Amino acid sequence: MTVTLNAYNVVAARCAAEYLGMHETIEKGNLIYKIEVFLNSSIFRSWKDSIIVLQTTKSLLPLSEDLKVISHCIDSIASKASIDVSRVDWSYTYNRKKLPEENGTDPKWNGVGNRPVVPKDWWVEDLCELEIDLYKRVIMSIKTQAVISHEVIGEALKAFALKRLPGFSKGMIPNGDTAKFRSTVDTIVWLLPADKCSVSCSFLLKLLKAAIFMDSGERAKRELVRRIGQQLEEASVNDLLIRAPEGETARYDVDTAQQIVEEFLMQEQNAEIESTAAHELQEVRRPGILSDASKLMVAKLVDGYLAEIAKDPNLPLSKFVDLAELVSGFSRPAHDGLYRAIDMYLKEHPGISKSERKRICRLMDCKKLSVDACMHAVQNERLPLRVVVQVLFFEQVRATATSGSSTPDLPKGIKDLNSASHGSSRSVTTNTEEDWDAVATLEELKALKGELASLRLGNGVGASDRNGGDSKGNIDKAAINKMKGLLMSKKIFTKLWSSKSGQGENSGSDSSGSPGSANPEEAKCTPSRNRRHSVS
């Protein structure tokens, strides 16, 4: 009987011959000898056949392992994957469509010239056909030979994840054999090269999402968090949005995002100080030390992330503030992104207290808001009054600036509005602090803006001609003094309306107005905490 050996049946034949004891001691040229010759002279010399044979060994364990068929296949595959691409003279992959010159159908190809360039990662797709345990051994063997770059190894792991984890490319979690998928994720994490540039931050975040969903080991998740933190400036907001585990009231896993940002900051703290040859201490700047550019990118990333998670009505204020404060020390030319996040949180959480509004608004610097952001802020009924006053002031300072100089520092009168002590307002009634932290209606905001503009115009006409360079300081001083007189009272906006309508006698009253008062303007201007909290 004639038996034709090929890559699909040679392992079975070898195991059967071993079971039957068909050795050379029984008969010269016995079956075991013939199969070994076929393996060494044909199978292990072929890239494609080596992979096919390795796949067939799984069903014949442990005998295929004992006969070293698996180890020989792995060595063959690893050596061929590590060869210089200029020496790859076989059809370097069987999972792609051959080029015309490879089929000999290209009339311009003479067999020598015009040879297609073989990419460095020519082998990664073929290895995706292997099961995870065999794939792990092959990649380990390739890494041991130390020929393939970390970037190519990373590309191989990415290709395997896309092949073996359905929906991975879209950040979706696969359904099916959870244990199998968990093993795949854990193995990929374990095989990641040490070089932080070997894989993208987006790929790492997709792995982290899968690891959290599959309930992978803490070691794998900690490793991913550490690596993501090292290259966080490459991430996008969508990548960083990790769904919270089932059973959580919050929509997103903010704790993991905070851990990632903390890992990013740890790079700065872990700067090594080494002793030089002259025994002098010198700070050694490594690639891990943060640059200003990377800090700015991460700050913008966190601002965008905060704006997204702020839409969650179940997000606690403490988590929002804690994450924002991690990057508060990063210098940013504008705070528009942070303002957008704060405004989104105030919009989605209208029931928070005055102290909470004050706490979240302290995160941003009103001097760093753009003109567009200022225009939005001065009409924002969700902001505390103290913030609106600061924004209005800086808007007016910018409007009156005649040169390209930087925005002046905040005068002490306005600074006191946002300070913890508020020492300048101790002589005012105890309700003043609550009034500053309250939110104003749209009509009150318009009145305040118009009053400040009229103050500046009134003090500015003719003053600049008489006082020269001191006019700007006088305008600011007059504006602050009059604002304090107008606003730092129990009935903050009464004087604003009276200054326009000429009803000064009503504005000077300390009484709150009788319950039966028929004056709608007076009733509307009374700073009621309940009314202001109703503004969404």
CA distance 530 to 164: 57
Full DSSP string of 69-94: HHHHHHHHHHHHHTS-GGG--S---S
Tokens 């994450």 identify what position?
A: 323
Which residues lie below 8 Å from residue 55, measured CB to CB, with a gap of 6+?
A: 129, 130, 131, 134
Residue with tokens 């905001």: 445
Other residues' Cβ atoms within 10 Å of the Cβ of residue 471: 17
Tokens of 52: 């096919």
**Residue 252's pLDDT is what?**
94
* Distances from the Cα of 460 to the Cα of 35, 286, 472, 481, 518, angstroms: 102, 55, 8, 15, 38
- To which residue do tokens 């999402």 refer? 209
DSSP 8-state secondary structure symbol assigned to residue 403: S
Measured distance CA(206)–CA(221) in Å, rounded? 12
Angle at CA of residue 22, ends 17 and 25, nearest 5°: 155
**pLDDT score at 257:** 95
Dig out the tokens for 19 from the structure. Answer: 């079971």
pLDDT tens digits, the chain, 536 residues: what are they? 787 899 999 999 999 999 999 988 888 888 999 999 999 999 999 999 999 999 999 999 999 999 999 999 999 999 999 988 888 876 656 555 555 555 555 555 445 545 567 888 899 999 999 999 999 999 999 999 888 999 999 999 999 999 988 877 776 666 667 888 889 999 999 999 988 889 999 999 999 999 988 888 899 999 999 999 999 999 999 999 999 888 888 899 999 999 999 999 988 776 544 333 444 444 444 444 778 888 999 999 999 999 999 999 999 999 999 999 999 888 888 899 999 999 999 999 998 888 899 899 999 988 888 888 888 888 888 888 888 888 888 877 777 764 454 444 545 555 455 444 333 333 344 445 555 555 555 565 566 556 555 544 444 444 444 444 455 455 445 444 444 444 444 344 443 334 334 444 333 333 333 334 344 443 344 443 344 443 33
- Predicted local confidence at residue 264, as pLDDT: 93
Q: How far is CA 163 from the centre of its chain?
A: 25
Q: Work out whether the CA dihedral 71, 73, 75, 77 comes out positive or negative.
A: negative
End-to-end CA distance of the chain: 88
Element of type H or E holding 275? strand 273-275
Q: Which residue has the tokens 């990790």?
A: 242
How far apart CA 258 and CA 302 sit, in angstroms, is: 10
Cross-strand bridge partners of residue 201: none
Report the distance separating Cα 33 and Cα 10, nearest Å.
Answer: 13
In Å, what is the CA distance from 171 to each residue of 129, 166, 180?
22, 10, 18
| Both structure tokens of 315 | 């997000």
Closest by CA position to 209, among listed 180, 238, 232, 234: 238
- Transcribe 328-381 into DSSP letters: TTS--S--HHHHHHHHHHHHH-TT--HHHHHHHHTTS-GGG--HHHHHHHTT-T
CB 228 within 8 A of CB 260: yes
Per-residue confidence (pLDDT) for residue 380, from 0 to 100? 85
- Residue 186 CA neighbour count, 13 Å, CB half: 13
* CA 266 to chain CA centroid, nearest Å: 16
Q: Residue 434: its pLDDT value, please?
A: 53
Cα–Cα distance between 158 and 162 in angstroms, integer?
A: 6
